[in-house]
Amino acid sequence: MAGLLTNSERTEKVRQVAERNQQALARFADLYHCRHGEDSFHASLHWQTAIKTGFPQFRHEDWRYTPLDKLLNQQYSSKTWELTVAQCEQLAISMDCWRVVMVNGCFSPLLSSCEFGPYQLSLLDNKSGLPAPIQQGEIFLHLTESLAQQPLVITLKAGQVAEKPLYLLNITSSHCSEALNSSHYRYHIAVGTNASASVIEHFVSIDGQQPHMTGGRLTAEVGDNAHFTHIKLGVENSASYHFAHNDIVIGRDAQVKSTSFLLGSGLGRHNTSVKLNGEGANLSLNSLLLPQGKEVADTRTYLEHHKGHCESRQLHKTIVMDQSKAVFNGMIKVAPHALKTDGQMTNNNLLLGKQAEVDTKPQLEIYADDVKCSHGATVGRIDEEQLFYLQSRGISRRDAEHMMVFAFAAELTESIEDESLKAIVMNHIKHRLARVER
């Protein structure tokens, strides 16, 4: 059949990919030794795991739709950057909060708040460790763990109620040279029993044209009867690479809501893993993606119902424009003893471009009786009858399309309580829609 590789061609392709992977790992090794040497036990442990894991081989199923050739053929470097207060204010969201600013993976006391209310912040000790991944980590998780220069530990003690959100602003710059700037951000958040916390992650680029690579990892341990709200906003430039892995462990009767608005990056792959580790826990896990041009937006979720009598709701939406591609892979796993589990996962996709593509794979693994779980996915285009209805009332076709797109996204955008943050998200959506090719 035309298009299939012969045995010799396949063997040669496998050899080329293996050689490329080894060369890329060697270049990251140079970066690792420049940053850490052998001083950090935590970094060393993850670097050894990264070496064992390696980059994906030829036609690896989990990476089938996420192209890595261009990234792995790059030279990598680490760059420090002096950012002025005025430059930071232009990139930051103006709201009442406690602000933590990291520039190219390094904490900036000058740009951060002077104090953080009930939150306690500390840099990870070189000899200390952080929680192991909920799910067996892929190589980019271990790269971020090993290359993050200043992992930050954030603690909210039992019974504390944070009146304002904690705002984590992550700013990455680019190189004008051929080397790709690689910056990695690592946070661990501990929310004590009966405490209440709200955290906003914000990823931005300094340069709007040049490529860079961002690694992000946030882990959270939510205590019994605690409340934790998490919002991630990714608006890096269209030449960037973004790999993120967030883990959340939830205690008994705790309530957690985590929503990601991934509105930028040329190649983005975002993983969220959650473990419901106490009875009566409640989880809401959502995401909205808007790839445009030739961008690739890959989002993956893994949810483990480890205890019974828990409820989870997931809603993941993508608006796929131009020639871009969206990938969704979601898993709900119910342990044998997790009785009375109630879990739902929904993935809705809207195609705006004639060459836009969506690949979706929602999955269930249920090992217990007496549970209620469901999953579903939809892929479609804007309804022409609805468009005609709006146009018949004097609304232009373009405005009508935008109205329908905003209505599609409203279920997630309207859930943002902070009006400043909601306005920023809506402006980014409008900016993206204004540039869509029809």
Closest CA to 21 of 61, 73, 67, 88: 73
> Greatest CA separation found in the chain?
69
pLDDT at residue 1 in the model: 45
- Along the chain (438 residues), what's the average pLDDT of each consecutive run of 10 residues? 70 88 93 74 90 88 89 87 89 95 94 95 79 90 94 96 96 82 95 98 88 96 98 95 97 98 94 97 96 94 96 96 94 95 96 91 94 93 84 86 88 91 92 69
Q: Angle of helix 7-35 relative to helix 41-53, nearest 10 degrees?
A: 170
Secondary structure class of 10 (helix, strand, coil): helix
pLDDT at residue 438 in the model: 47
Is there a domain that residue 416 lies in? Answer: no
pLDDT at residue 39 in the model: 65
Closest CA to 187 of 168, 208, 174: 168
Token pair for 379: 């892929």
Residues near 169 by beta carbon (within 8 Å), at least 6 away in sequence: 88, 91, 92, 93, 99, 100, 101, 102, 111, 202, 204
pLDDT at residue 435 in the model: 62
Closest CA to 226 of 259, 199, 190: 190
Is there a domain that residue 418 lies in? Answer: no
Strand pairing class (282-289; 311-320): parallel
Residue 366 near residue 343, CB atoms below 8 Å? no
Rounded to whole angstroms, how far apart are CA atoms 79 and 68? Answer: 22
Which residue has tokens 């930051």? 92
Strand (E) or helix (H) holding 147: helix 139-147
Is there a domain that residue 396 lies in? Answer: no
Is there a domain that residue 58 lies in? Answer: yes
Is there a domain that residue 188 lies in? Answer: yes
Residue 326 near residue 359, CB atoms below 8 Å? yes
Domain with 99, as residue range(s), is: 10-382
Strand pairing class (372-381; 342-351): parallel
Is there a domain that residue 408 lies in? Answer: no
- The DSSP code for 161 is B
Is there a domain that residue 404 lies in? Answer: no
Domain count along the chain: 1
pLDDT at residue 117 in the model: 94
Is there a domain that residue 419 lies in? Answer: no
